[in-house]
Chain A
Amino acid sequence: MTYAFIALFLFAFLLLVLLGLVLRDPNRVPRPNAAEGLTEFPDRTHVTFFPQIKQALAVQDFAYLASLGRNALANRVCKERRKIALTYLACLRNDFQTLWRLGRVISSMSPQVGTAQEFRRLQLGLAFSLRYEMIRIKLLFGFAPLTDFGALSEVVSRLSIRMETAMRDLGERAALAAKPSSSLDGRGLDVS
């Protein structure tokens, strides 16, 4: 019985903390807007820099420097280029987050939302964050899992193109919504 009381008490306290969190500073929360979505969408995503990153981390470069007997230089270059790879990974994450956020915008604007789809996306987002951190740690400790960087970048790139098209579509609809005279369904929307 006492454990139940403690659990109840802690739960109520947790609810108060959560209340504070969900109601905090609204300015930090990006507002869903198709036009904003379009402007925040980068013209060029970081995946396009993959060839340069790949070149920078090519094993041959380090091997060549080492063969010249310049081990110190090879180590320094390796360290610096690993930093670049980490920055690149962070940028990839930004790309992912932008796309993920745009996915939420599409959901929030949709007249019907599938619970399963939304839950799945949330799950995927969490899994992505976890794996991203694991890879980042791996890079930090000197491992370079580079062979699959290309595939990863390609996937992000494809997603970018797809989302860009979707957001352009939404932008056009937003423009239509701004003209109430053209509404067909009373919401200022042309949902043909």
Chain B
Amino acid sequence: MTGMSLSVQSIWACSILAQLIALTLLLLRKNASKIPFFTTYIVLNLCQAGFMLVLALIPTLSRATFERLSWLAEAITLLAQAVATTEILGLTLRPYPGIWGLAWRALVAVSSLVVLILVWVTHAQGIGQLWFQLNRGYHLTFATAVIACLALVRYYSIRVPSPFKMILAGFCLNSCVEVLVNTLIQVLFHKGYAVYQAAWEIVTMISFVATLTIWIVALWKPFPVDARQIALPSDSTYRRLSPEINERLREINEKLLRLWKMEARPE
């Protein structure tokens, strides 16, 4: 591989092995049909590795073209990652259409906010830096949106099936580590991207291998049958009760406020 040290190559080989194990488990345990987009994501990752290998074997390929094509392949897998995550979240919240409706709106709102902040903060100099910062921006947006969604799920006390939870945790962990590493290395080695490329590759690959290990554990057994069945009240029940509950809560708050203002000390 062009410019890759032996240690990076070893970790890269480990990650491919882990991806193959994850894919095999998905197929053997018949989980692939339950989470097709996640399976596609794993397949795309393997294709990306193969693509990189082919690129590396072309001797006439310039470094700039190699990098451009690598980032392009990365962009495709990142898109697949977003779709796979949405699939898992959708499956988790399928029995709760109301909360899912709220969750995807929250996802869009949080993502838009983070993107706006990142656009404001990002000042790329050169195409290499731009790709780097776009990658970091994506991971930051992704992790924030997923964690916001998980917080919402927790707020409504919705049980997330354990394998789904591990898959989502893996995605988030990987994204957070990417952001941390990108930022830290950029601050520590403010001399140009080539200086810290090897360190960046090693740490991000280790993080990805750790993520794959979490997924392998999650995929080890077939997914349990989703027996969650809830009694959905009619829409009118919510529309009738929710404002009323809020009104009562507001009244209680007002009373509390009045209590606070009063000072009837017993003599």
Contacts and interface: CB of A to CB of B under 8 A. Distances in A.
Interface centre among B96, B123, B158, B255 (most CB of A within 10 A): B255
Interface in B151-165: 151, 153-160, 165
A146 B231 contact: no
Contact of A124 (B172, B235, B246, B267): B246
A50 interface: no
Interface centre among A96, A101, A118 (most CB of B within 10 A): A118
Given A19-B147, A131-B260, A176-B231, A113 B246 contact: no
Interface string B172-214: 1100100110011011000000000000000000000000000
Interface string A120-160: 11101101100110110010001111111101100110110
A125 B245 CA distance: 11
Given A11-B140, A117-B246, A128-B252, A108 B264 contact: no
B143 interface: yes
A13 interface: yes
A16 B172 CA distance: 8
A147 B264 contact: yes
Nearest to B153: A22
A73 interface: no
Contacts of A101: 157
B230 A177 contact: yes
Interface in B125-173: 136, 140, 143-144, 147, 150-151, 153-160, 165, 169, 172-173
Contacts of B154: 22, 29
B199 to A, nearest CB: 16
Range, interface on chain B: 35 or more
Contacts of A111: 97-98, 232, 234-235, 238
B253 interface: yes
Interface in A94-115: 96, 99-101, 103-115
A32 B156 contact: yes
B104 to A, nearest CB: 11
Interface string B10-21: 000000000000
A11 to B, nearest CB: 7
Interface string A169-192: 110011011000000000111011
The 8 closest A-B pairs by CB, nearest first: A110-B238, A113-B98, A131-B256, A12-B179, A173-B231, A174-B231, A124-B249, A177-B231
Interface of B: 96-99, 101-102, 105, 121, 123, 136, 140, 143-144, 147, 150-151, 153-160, 165, 169, 172-173, 176, 179-180, 183-184, 186-187, 229-235, 237-239, 241-246, 248-253, 255-260, 262-267
10 contacts: A32-B158, A34-B230, A107-B238, A108-B156, A112-B98, A124-B249, A159-B249, A166-B241, A187-B232, A189-B231
